[in-house]
Structure 1
Amino acid sequence: MNLINDFCLAVGILKGVQVLVVDNDRDSRDLYAFLLKDLSANVITAGSVKEALETLSWFTPNIIVCEIRFFGESIYTLLNTLSAMEADNGNHIPIIVTSTSTTGTHDQIPDVEFEEYLLKPFDLDKFISIIWNQIQKNMAENLLHDVLVLQ
C-alpha cells in the first residue's frame, strides 16, 4: 500500500496540524516540510536546537519531528523545554526522533522520551503514517485531559 499516494488523494488530511521540524540537515528538513505542507500541515522548520527554542516562544506545534544529533547542542535542552510546557498546560506534544547513525540509538538514551524513532533514510509512507497516528492519538488524549480538568 502506498500511503503517500493515498494521503495525497485525501486533500487537506493534515489541515490545521502544526508541525515543528528540527533538523540540522537542510535536505532532510526541506523534504519533511515539503511533504507535510503538501498534505496541508502548517510547518515551521529549525536548523538547530537554539532556533527550535526560539520558535517555541511563539509557535505551539501539535507534533515535533527532530533529529537527535546536533553539533555543539543537546537535544535535552529542547526536551526539557517541552516538558516544562507540558507541565504548564497539560498538553503533551509528541516527538518523532530521527537519526542518521546507529550509534547512540534510542536504547542508549533511555531518559529521552519520544513516541517514535526513525533511522534515516526511512520510508516516507511510514513517516506519514506515524505522524497521522500520533496526531489522532494525541488529540484523543488531550481531549480526555481537558474533560477531566473540567470535572
Structure 2
Amino acid sequence: MERAYQILVVDDHKDIRDLLQRFLQQHGLRVMTAADGNEMYKHLNAQRFDLIILDLMLPGKDGITLCRELRAENNIPIIMLTALGEEVDRIVGLEVGADDYLAKPFNPRELLARIKSVLRRHFAIPNVEEQTSGTPKNYLFNQWLLNTTTRELRNPQQALIPLTSTEFTMLLAFLCHPNVVLSREDLLKLVQGRGADVYDRSIDTLISRLRKKIETDPKQPKLIKTIWGGGYQFSCEVSHDAH
C-alpha cells in the first residue's frame, strides 16, 4: 500500500484484537482497537480512520446496529466479522451498509486482501468514471444533486445523504445511462473498479440500499425500476453541468 491507512478493529475478544493489530501493523497499516461500540465512538471522535473492521456480536450495541448508525453519518468503509456463516447474516450486513463480510474463523491474510480491495474501491476512481470522458461535476435528477468531486448526494431539501463508495458508483452508473435498461452484467461491468469485489447477487442488495435512500417508497420504486427479465432502469430525466 502506498500510504499507511488507519484501521480501527472493533471486537470484544482481546486475543483477536491483539492478533489483528500485530498482523496488520506488520503489513504497513496503522491500527487501533476497541472492545465495544462505546470505545469505537471514542476513537472516532478523537481521530480519522480509513476503514473499520466491525465484529457482529458485541456487548451492548451489536455490529448491525453500529453499522447502521455509522452509515447514517458517513461513508467510512466497513468490513464486518462474525462467527455466523449463514447467507442471511451476510445479506443483512450488506443491507445495512457494510462494504464486505468475513466469517470467523478466517485467515488473517484473507482479511488483509479484503481490506486492500475495499480501500482500493473506496479511494480509486471507479470504472464508470473512467469510461465517461469529462465526467460532469454535478448530476441533477428529481431535485436531487450528486457531486462527483466530493461524492456527496443531497436530497431536495439539501440534506446530505451518506453513500458508500459502491453505492456512489452504482448511482453514477445509472445517472450516466438514464432511461436505459441495464442488465446485472452491465451493472457489474460499470460498477467494478480496480480490485472491486462486486458479484452478481450483490447487485440486488446495492439496488435495495440505493432505493431506501432516494425513493419516496422503496417498495414501489419510481426512479430505479425493475425490468423483469431485463435488469434495472433509471426512469428519470437527468441533467448535469461542469461546475
TM-score using structure 2 length: 0.48
2:124 matched to 1:140? yes
Within 5 A, what are the aligned runs for 1:98-137? 98-102=81-85, 105-108=89-92, 111-137=95-121
Residue identity (%): 25
Q: Give the alignment partner of residue 94 of structure 1, picking from 77, 87, 98.
A: 77
Contact 2:36–2:60 (Cα < 8 Å) also in 1: no
Q: For 2:47 and 2:150, how far apart are their aligned partners in 1?
A: 24
1:22 maps to: 10
**Secondary structure in 1 matching 2:149:** helix
- SS at 1:82's partner residue? helix
Residue by residue, what CA displacement relative to the aligned partner does 1:40-71 show, whole Å, maximum 9, x if unpaired?
21111001111001111012211110101112
Q: Which has the larger radius of gyration?
A: 2
The equivalent of 1:68 in structure 2 is: 56
* Alignment TM-score, normalising by the size of structure 1: 0.74
Output the CA distance in 1 between the equivalents of 2:98 and 2:66. 12
Structure with greater proportional strand content: 2
Q: Is the 8 A contact 1:24 1:70 kept in 2?
A: yes
Structure-2 change in CA distance of 1:46 and 1:77 (3 Å): same
Tell me how far 1:16 sits from its aligned partner: 2.1
Cα gap change, 1:148 to 1:70, in 2 (>3 Å): closer
Does the 8 Å contact 1:14/1:40 carry over to 2? no
Q: Provide the rounded CA distance (Å) in 2 between the counterparts of 1:146 and 1:67.
A: 32
Contact 1:69 1:99 in 2 (8 A): yes
Provide structure 1 residue ranges, at least 5 long, that are not aligned to the other structure.
1-12, 87-91
Distance 1:111 1:137, change over 3 A: closer
Greater fraction of residues in helix: 1
Q: CA deviation at 1:108?
A: 4.7
Change (3 A) 1:34 1:15: farther
The answer to whether the 8 A contact 2:68-2:96 is kept is no
SS in 1 for 2:124: helix
